[in-house]
Amino acid sequence: MTETAEGRQRSRLALLGAGVMGETVLSGLVRAGWDPTDLVATDRRPERVAELEAAYGITMTTNVDAVAGASTVVLVVKPQDMRGLLSEIAPTLDAEALVVSLAAGVDTATLEAGLPAGQPVVRVMANTPAQVDEGMAAVAAGSSATPDHLERVRDILSATGRVEVVPEGYLDAVTAISGSGPAYLFFVVEAMIEAGVHLGLPRDLSTELVVQTMLGSAKLLRESGEHPTVLRERVTSPGGTTAAALRELEDHKVRAAFLSAMEAARDRSQALAAAARDQQAHR
Ligand SMILES: NC(=O)C1=CN([C@@H]2O[C@H](COP(=O)(O)OP(=O)(O)OC[C@H]3O[C@@H](n4cnc5c(N)ncnc54)[C@H](O)[C@@H]3O)[C@@H](O)[C@H]2O)C=CC1
Ligand SMILES: O=C(O)[C@@H]1CCC=N1
């Protein structure tokens, strides 16, 4: 902890693993007004270290130096890299430090097993729209995390979007829906742009039409508060063009495909959890 000019207690946050999601969190904190001198980050790729130092003026250091004196330690490495990282930082962590993991499928019990007894842990599933302050994150407390710890994580994440506190048992499903979700929507966008090109539109125009339609539809859904079925029905004139298109989507079992896709993502999250537990048990 350091003192600000106003005398307010200020905490140092260390972020370990500054890839796509790590940069998403770091850049959000900087946009939200965190002083870069309260942030420290690490990455094992030297080129990534140089990029982030140049972009945000954040001190980049080693994992062990980063956690020394940090009151919040945010872990944003791949699930497969978590065990090594935990064993590297465990001896240096402040006993009071809150450990926040953004890794898919690594449960709090596995994280706790790799850390000193009693270390507070919070698990998060975030998503990349946080890069434009429209993120969706869900958080779950480990066995030693208090409501204040959850509040600290909520403060960090609410700078870049919405946050829900959930039972940990929901997180595999959350991963399948909002964690991976942006990729499904980008996939739909890609498919619609290609279809526009197939129908004879210039690619730039097709892209503009699809992106604005996606954005406008999401905004209408949020601002109207209407159920998506009602909004879909309002577009679907009897015997019209939309009905013809939706019939094709039903014939091609797109709804069932979405269900299977999200079951597969949920299953993969569970498999990553099992692998992480196994790795931890055999360390
Ligand atoms: N990309 C996404 O949309 C989302 C990712 N996540 C989770 O975030 C985590 C990171 O994912 P991405 O950022 O996409 O991966 P990434 O591969 O872009 O970033 C991981 C970074 O960690 C670094 N790293 C690995 N081991 C390290 C170590 N021991 N010390 C320091 N740095 C180390 C790598 O060099 C890399 O830059 C994963 O666990 C993933 O499940 C969660 C939600 C969404
Ligand atoms: O694909 C993944 O495993 C990560 C977790 C959620 C989004 N990306």
Residue 140: how many other CB atoms lie within 10 Å: 23
Range(s) of the domain holding residue 207: 181-252
Establish whether 21 is an annotated binding residue.
yes
Is 45 found in the same domain as 14? yes
What is the per-residue burial (b if ≥16 Cβ within 10 Å, else e) of 49-68? beebeeebebbbeebeebbb
Residue 16 pLDDT: 98
Residue of 107, 109, 111 lying closest to 16 (CA atoms): 111
Whole-number Å distance between alpha carbons of 148 and 260: 38
pLDDT tens over the chain, length 283 residues: 444 433 333 469 999 999 999 999 999 999 999 999 999 999 999 999 999 999 999 999 999 999 999 999 999 999 999 999 999 999 999 999 999 999 999 999 999 999 999 999 999 999 999 999 999 999 999 999 999 999 999 999 999 999 999 999 999 999 999 999 999 999 999 999 999 999 999 999 999 999 999 999 999 999 999 999 999 999 999 999 999 999 999 999 999 999 999 999 999 999 999 998 888 777 7
* 115 assigned to some structural domain: yes
Closest ligand to 77 CA? 1
Establish whether 20 is an annotated binding residue.
yes
* 162 assigned to some structural domain: yes
- CA diameter of the chain: 68
CA of 219 to the centre of ligand 1 (A): 30
Is 219 found in the same domain as 154? no
Task: Write the residue with the smallest CA distance to atom 5 of ligand 2.
Answer: 104
Does the CB atom of residue 16 touch ligand 1 within 6 A? yes
Number of domains in the chain: 2
Residue 48 pLDDT: 96
180 DSSP 8-state letter? S
pTM: predicted TM-score of the whole model, two decimal places: 0.94
Is 201 found in the same domain as 160? no
* CATH code for position 167: 3.40.50.720
Q: Hey, which of 24, 25, 40, 77 would you mutate to test ligand 1's pocket, going by the most ligand atoms within 8 Å of its Cβ?
A: 77
* CATH code for position 240: 1.10.3730.10
* 11 assigned to some structural domain: yes
Task: Write the residue with the smallest CA distance to atom 18 of ligand 1.
Answer: 19
Residue of 152, 150, 187, 134 lying closest to 9 (CA atoms): 152
CA of 66 to the centre of ligand 1 (A): 17
Is 57 found in the same domain as 158? yes
Establish whether 176 is an annotated binding residue.
no
Does the CB atom of residue 104 touch ligand 2 within 6 A? yes
